[in-house]
Amino acid sequence: MARYFSNAVKFLKDVKKTDSVVIIFNNDADGISSCALIDMVLKEKGVKPYIISQPMPTEKNLIRKIQTTIPTKLIFLDLAMDQQETVIKKLTGISDILIVDHHSVHSDLNTPGVVHYNPRFEGKDIYQSTTYIAYKMTSEIKDMTKHLWIAAVGMIGDYNLDYSQDVVEEVRKAYPDITGKKPLYESFLGRIADMIASTRATNALSCEEMVSIMEKAEILENFKETPGSEKMQESYRTIENEIMSIEQDFGRNAETHGNLILYNLKTRFNLCSPLSTRLSEKFMDKMLVIYQISGGKVHASARNQGKKFDVASTMKKAARGLKASAGGHPAAAGATVAEKEWNEFKERLIAAMKK
């Protein structure tokens, strides 16, 4: 399996100045941070990639967006493209493709013209963020020490650090004053991860703009003074105040059904994911689902940090046969369900968690 990693590194090393490169990355802290690391390495080679942020699954017009750039190299980061094989098949004839992902493996897409790396090829339970992988890959090409903080932000934003302890220790040694012995999430690096989530919620900046801010800062000490970061800091303050109010309502109105906790989030911000991550730490032995109704759809975010339940599997089973999509990791997953079918989806979750 080390061959897959070596192939991914070779793909980056083989990029030439004459190549037209497009990086397509997931629109969260992990995707943003991994994009920044790889984008910077390619720019040092004289390449100026065009970057596109995407949700998961990707938007229907993604292929058209890519085709307008006439790329010779495509790089997908933190996106489970093996769940969208038709997209990859349509793009294979256009350019060479690199896929770096860490979600549950559906299939191995390694074929002539496609390099696919996922640490889960070595073991289905191996959980390493795409940013961790990107840092290890780019470190094979150049010294990435001064950008280590970006790796830390993406890793923290993706939450699970169990299989990334070598880089965690590297971070602690590089930034002892801000990390100490406390969990990395409690440090300023964790606050930057929160700023990314908050800025996504307020839409104060695009994901592409946040990639640019991280690249321009270069070193951690420059982050607060980098133009644009003030919008991220302001978004963080706004969302923190909103979350404090929501947490009070959660205590009054959350529904408990055995091992399942459900909460209908009512806010103008998109906070399902960050709120579910934060609240789940208080309910380690429960499956927590935060959901928000918008535009005829229900967006749900599920967590179980105690790893007692496979929330991705549970969400996928509940979505079968409905106008719904679901996916993610055993400890963190999401789903989008047609509003008219939400009650059915909800009842399936309740039934599954009573077993």
| CA gap 290, 335 in Å, rounded | 10
**Which pair of structure tokens corresponds to residue 353?**
């968690």
Task: Name which of 122, 101, 192 is nearest 154 in CA terms.
Answer: 192
Q: Look at 10-19, 20-29, 255-264, 321-330 and tell me which has the smallest mean pLDDT.
A: 321-330
Pairing of strands 73-77, 96-100: parallel
Would you kindly state where each structural domain of the chain is located, as residue ranges?
Answer: 2-231, 254-354
| CA gap 311, 328 in Å, rounded | 8
Tell me the pLDDT band of 77, cut-offs 50, 70 and 90: very high
Q: How many other C-beta atoms lie within 10 A of the C-beta of residue 50?
A: 16
pLDDT digits 0-9 by tens, 269-324: 989 888 888 888 889 899 999 999 999 999 999 999 888 899 999 999 999 999 99
pLDDT digits 0-9 by tens, 188-225: 999 999 999 999 999 999 999 999 999 999 999 999 99
- Whether 9 has a pLDDT exceeding 90, the answer reads yes
pLDDT at residue 355 in the model: 66
- Whether 1 has a pLDDT exceeding 80, the answer reads no
- Whether 250 has a pLDDT exceeding 80, the answer reads yes
Judge whether 100 and 75 are in contact, CB under 8 Å.
Answer: yes
Task: Name which of 93, 141, 98 is nearest 117 in CA terms.
Answer: 98
CATH fold label, 254-354:
Diaminopimelate Epimerase; Chain A, domain 1 (3.10.310)
Look at domain 2-231 and name its CATH class.
Answer: alpha beta
pLDDT at residue 329 in the model: 79
Contacts of 186-194 with C-beta under 8 Å, sequence gap 24+, read 188/220, 189/149, 189/152, 189/153, 189/156, 189/220, 190/156, 191/236, 192/149, 192/153, 192/223, 192/232, 193/29, 193/153, 193/154, 193/156, 193/157, 194/236, 194/239, 194/240, 194/274
When the pLDDT of each residue in the chain is averaged and rounded to a whole number, the result is 94
